[in-house]
Structure 1
Amino acid sequence: MRLSTCILPIATGPAATKEAWQRAELLGFHAAYTYDHLNWEEPFLDGPWGDAWPTLATAAAVTSTIRLGTLVSTPNFHHPVTLAKKVLTLDGLSDGRVTLGLGAGTDEGDSRILGGDPLTPGRRADRFAELVEHLDVLLTQDVSTLSGEWYSAVEARMLPRCVQRPRVPFAIAGGGPRGMRLAAQHGQAWVTTGDDQIGRGGTVAETRAALATQIARLDAACADVGRDPATLEKILLTGFTVDDVHSAAEAFLETAAAYAGLGITEIVIHAPIPGTRFEMDDRVYCEIATLGPELALLGSARS
């Protein structure tokens, strides 16, 4: 299991931004991700909130080894051509250290900023599938002309090609059948925050049982498309379930070991933000960062 962190884009000024990402690398995390939203929920709604891509470009400039990426980018305000160009550019700036996290988005928050009627879950899934499929083509071809229900591209050039070949890895979020199938077909990783129906209101046992069910469905989706489930990484973004990941390094290690046993191969903890669901003593965060070697030894029950 790998240990990564997530840094929300709330730093103000270049010094604070650079320090946050350099620190993640110095602490030894495998990867550092950020959210790709125009804004997010309370208590962040009316506070500082930056754009993911300039933030990640800054991170690429001040780090050299840590992987960088989004958890996650959505079709709520991205077109596949412009998103592909951002990804391609960042992959070059970072010398091939980018993972593109992708999700369908919800009908709340930044989905309404650009106007338009809310979409049903089925229509969001339709749009998301087309986004992923177009990105797959755009990032593996020099020139692409594409047409679909939601997006089109006319001689879109992606030059030079990605440093990572055949393209940057996709980490695809999806708890439903269609999202899991997309992950099985196009993803190098699958992303989960746990079962939304249980969330932070369930018990630890319910949370872990729900995740085990999700992973079983994901394995079935892989089988349906003829893929070995072991070839698909499984990323858990913490902070959205009842699990104790913030109180102490020992508690985090116990939780991570339980999830490794279910098949999770990468666990992500948010950098501390006082007064939010991601509140944590900074000393504990630093202690958790030292657990990378121990987590790397955790075997998966499905390996």
Structure 2
Amino acid sequence: MSLRLSTVILPYRRWHDGGRAPWERAEQLGFRTAYTYDHLSWRSFRDGPWFGAVPTLTAAAAVTERIRLGTLVTSPNFRHPVTLAKELISLDDISGGRISLGIGAGGTGFDATALGQEPWTPRERADRFAEFLALLDRLLTEDSVSYEGDFYSAHEARNVPGCVQRPRLPFAVAATGPRGLRLAARFGQAWVTTGDPKLYENGTPEQSVRALREQADRLADACSAIGRDVAELDKVLLTGFTPDRNRPLESLDAFVDFAGRHRDLGFTELVIHWPIPGSDFAVDEKIFEEIAMEAPAQLG
């Protein structure tokens, strides 16, 4: 099974002061997809520059030609399906059909209260996500949608001409729990995971591999329950959040070993963070580029 390599570029630099260059370089290096986070702010970057995902992807679409682009991930924390659908259809048009939507239930970070709301409980996040995803699917595939739900509404929302990609742009659904995995099975063209967060601090790489295998097995069960072949979904691992942290990016050999173990679990795409000096994603740029250029051939 072949394994694709993608990257995620955090939107923390001004476009005309270094922000543009990684997107152009990502295409030159042959990455399958260049993603960005869809947050209002994020962790240690909260008090520094941080730009919006949709404008950033629009600019990236204008300076690239082949590489796919997307979010990793968008969530209901500060998004509404009606307005998001319009932005996605526009992005898909501007990029010539190169947009993928990574989407998840969201968490308890800064985005969860930025609009002045109280943090949602885990159950409410799950309930909102299920409704959000189902409505967004309709908005991207139907010319006009009216809907009245528990959390979201749409009244004759028009989305002509729809996506360039048909029937709509692909969803990469981030999920680890039963409800999320069922949504991935129903709506996803891909499934996204970062591993088991409980193992990040004190777990071992071996425990992480077992946890990922169990997640993949539960996804297969969710697909089987609705008569879908799990092989239809790409399996995407966003790296940097397993117990290995950034050690796989310390050398080409280390990465090939890491990637091979996860390819054997059925993953079809690994996403590595673009280097950011002085951060959790501070890795040697020369090794990063060596991995981008040489690892895919070794993992073919």
Normalising by the smaller structure, the TM-score range is over 0.9
Q: Give how far 1:18 is off.
A: 1.9
2:249 match: secondary structure: coil
Letter in 2 for 1:12: R
Greater mean alpha carbon deviation, residues 215-224 or residues 7-16: 7-16
Compared CA separation, residues 286 and 186, structure 1 to 2 (3 A): same
RMSD: 1.1
Q: Verify: 1:269 aligned to 2:251, yes or no.
A: no
What is the match of residue 53 of structure 2? Answer: 52
Q: Verify: 1:9 aligned to 2:18, yes or no.
A: no
- Choose from 35, 38, 45 the match for 1:36: 38
Q: Verify: 1:282 aligned to 2:275, yes or no.
A: no
Tell me if structure 2 keeps the 8 A contact 1:70–1:101.
Answer: yes
What is the match of residue 300 of structure 1? Answer: none
What is the match of residue 246 of structure 1? Answer: 249
Identical pairs, percent: 54
Q: Give how far 1:109 is off.
A: 1.6
Tell me if structure 2 keeps the 8 A contact 1:28–1:289.
Answer: yes
Letter in 2 for 1:63: T
2:147 match: secondary structure: strand
- Choose from 255, 258, 277 the match for 2:261: 258
Write the mapping of 1:1-303 to structure 2, written as runs, cut at 5 A.
1-42=3-44, 44-243=45-244, 244-291=247-294, 293-294=296-297, 297=300
Letter in 2 for 1:21: W
* Structure 1 segments unaligned to the other structure (5+ residues): 298-303
CA distance in structure 1 between the aligned counterparts of 2:201 and 2:236, rounded to whole angstroms:
18
* Structure 2 segments unaligned to the other structure (5+ residues): none
Q: Give how far 1:196 is off.
A: 1.0
Tell me if structure 2 keeps the 8 A contact 1:2–1:292.
Answer: no
Letter in 2 for 1:201: N
TM-score for the superposition, normalised by structure 2: 0.96
Q: Give how far 1:291 is off.
A: 2.9
Tell me if structure 2 keeps the 8 A contact 1:139–1:158.
Answer: yes
CA distance in structure 2 between the aligned counterparts of 1:147 and 1:190, rounded to whole angstroms:
28
Tell me if structure 1 keeps the 8 A contact 2:112–2:120.
Answer: no
TM-score for the superposition, normalised by structure 1: 0.95
Q: Give how far 1:115 is off.
A: 1.4
CA distance in structure 2 between the aligned counterparts of 1:256 and 1:71, rounded to whole angstroms:
19
Greater than 6 Å deviation, 4+ residue runs: none
CA distance in structure 1 between the aligned counterparts of 2:248 and 2:270, rounded to whole angstroms:
11
Letter in 2 for 1:91: D
Tell me if structure 2 keeps the 8 A contact 1:3–1:295.
Answer: no
- The C-alpha deviation readout for 1:95-146, integer Å capped at 9, x for no partner, is 0000001010012221111112221111100000111000100000111111
Tell me if structure 1 keeps the 8 A contact 2:256–2:295.
Answer: no
Tell me if structure 1 keeps the 8 A contact 2:260–2:299.
Answer: no
CA distance in structure 2 between the aligned counterparts of 1:4 and 1:292, rounded to whole angstroms:
12
Tell me if structure 2 keeps the 8 A contact 1:257–1:295.
Answer: no
Q: How many residues align?
A: 296
Letter in 2 for 1:227: R
CA distance in structure 1 between the aligned counterparts of 2:294 and 2:128, rounded to whole angstroms:
39
Letter in 2 for 1:173: A
2:248 match: secondary structure: coil
Tell me if structure 2 keeps the 8 A contact 1:195–1:211.
Answer: yes
Tell me if structure 2 keeps the 8 A contact 1:53–1:86.
Answer: yes
1:245 match: secondary structure: helix
Letter in 2 for 1:264: F
